[in-house]
Amino acid sequence: MKTPDNNLSEKLINFKNLDSYQKQVIALKFINSVCNNLDNYDSLEDSLKNFYLDFNYLINKFDAKIIKYSKEKIYYVMETYESALIQYNSILKQYYYLAETLKLNNSLELCTYMSYLLWNGYFSINKKNTYQSKNRLNLSGAYGLDCVNGIGVCLNYSSLLNDFFKNSKIQSTVLLCKLGKEITCDYRPRLMRNINQNEISMKLFNLFSIILSPIINRIGDHAVNLIKEDNKLYIYDITNLTILNVKNKDVAELVNGTGKYLLKPELSLKLLNDFDKFEMFLNLDEQKYYQDAYSRKEFIFLYERIIELLNNNKNLLNDCYSSIHSNLESISLNMKKTYNYEKVFTRK
């Protein structure tokens, strides 16, 4: 059995002093750190007797099969689409190098930059991007790949941004959330977003919302990025071009408008399996991060400045797009493989 890292061990020593939310995060990290498979729970008792009773209590509250199934799907996708992912990461690196050339450094500058690229089609084979759920492969662990075909929804977009930040020193993770009621934006950046309004009628959408409300309330209906830079912790919504300040581990408030997002960090860990970022979820429970990361004035000033900069350097953006287009074509062809996970793995 693998032994946990020192930082994790130190947290486990004080496990009983943590609140229930922190215990759940640590338990999930522990599963990933020491277990070769998620059914081998009893092996923990030999090495961590003091921890076992608390851990066993928690694990009974988790849907461990969901975690295991999610991990298996990710491994399958990584193997099946290995060459596409190599090219995808190469594209992200090229755009990151261009950001350095443009002297874009801090996280919000890079978020603005990525928003500009996404909604202007710079990740798409046909240089168009449309918000729509139809025709996506939605590959577990590689949700950003759908953007290559010019389509996607919040989970695809936030995953793309998250993958981009892996080239930097900025910490980011995808966070599931539920949009609060009566959200309004009093500032919209000057970016045209193409949204397919004909996928589903509003009446049908409202009917689905009522039927699925217990599930939506639990797992959320949206995906964003939780970002940490220096001592700042905030949320960026690349789909809606909004920024939110964290108020507590459950709530974030819009900076460029009014309204709240209800955060789902525990389920984000379980369903998306980004265990390497569990420390960021722990940060959500620390008072020092409840200070506003950005003001409305700062956000608007920065956004407008970066958009103007990019508009004035379209020749560089277009040159970079031309250089990576062959990779986009290759990825698109690769993604035409049949995603047939259900026949490979059977739910137990």
Q: What is the pLDDT of residues 118-157, one digit of tens each?
A: 999 999 999 999 888 777 777 777 889 999 999 898 999 9
Residue 111 backbone dihedrals phi, psi, to 5 degrees: -65, -45
Given this model, what pLDDT does residue 83 score? 87
Question: Is the pLDDT assigned to residue 91 strictly greater than 90?
Answer: yes
For the chain, how big is the Rg over CA atoms in Å?
Answer: 21
Given this model, what pLDDT does residue 265 score? 83
| Separation between Cα atoms, residue 126 and residue 128, nearest integer Å | 5
Between the ranges 191-200, 211-220, 275-284, where is the mean pLDDT highest?
275-284
Between the ranges 77-81, 228-232, 284-288, where is the mean pLDDT highest?
228-232
Given this model, what pLDDT does residue 285 score? 80
Average pLDDT for 105-119: 95
Both tokens of 320, joined, read: 């970079």
Residue 169 backbone dihedrals phi, psi, to 5 degrees: -95, 5
| Separation between Cα atoms, residue 325 and residue 91, nearest integer Å | 9
Between the ranges 79-83, 94-98, 209-213, where is the mean pLDDT highest?
94-98
Question: Is the pLDDT assigned to residue 164 strictly greater than 90?
Answer: yes
Eight-class DSSP state of 256: S
Both tokens of 10, joined, read: 């130190």
| Separation between Cα atoms, residue 126 and residue 151, nearest integer Å | 11
Between 51 and 103, name the one with better pLDDT.
Answer: 103
**Cα within 13 Å of Cα(296), Cβ side:** 10
Mean pLDDT for the chain overall:
76
Q: CA distances (Å), 310 to each of 26, 31, 99, 292, in order?
A: 42, 44, 10, 27
Q: pLDDT band for position 5 (50/70/90)?
A: very low
Both tokens of 223, joined, read: 């995906």
Residue 234 backbone dihedrals phi, psi, to 5 degrees: -150, 175
Average pLDDT for 65-70: 60
| Separation between Cα atoms, residue 254 and residue 235, nearest integer Å | 9
Q: 10 Å Cβ neighbour count for 3?
A: 10
Q: pLDDT band for position 106 (50/70/90)?
A: very high
E-assigned strands of the chain? 130-131, 151-152, 171-179, 184-185, 194-195, 222-229, 232-237, 242-248, 251-254, 257-258, 260-263
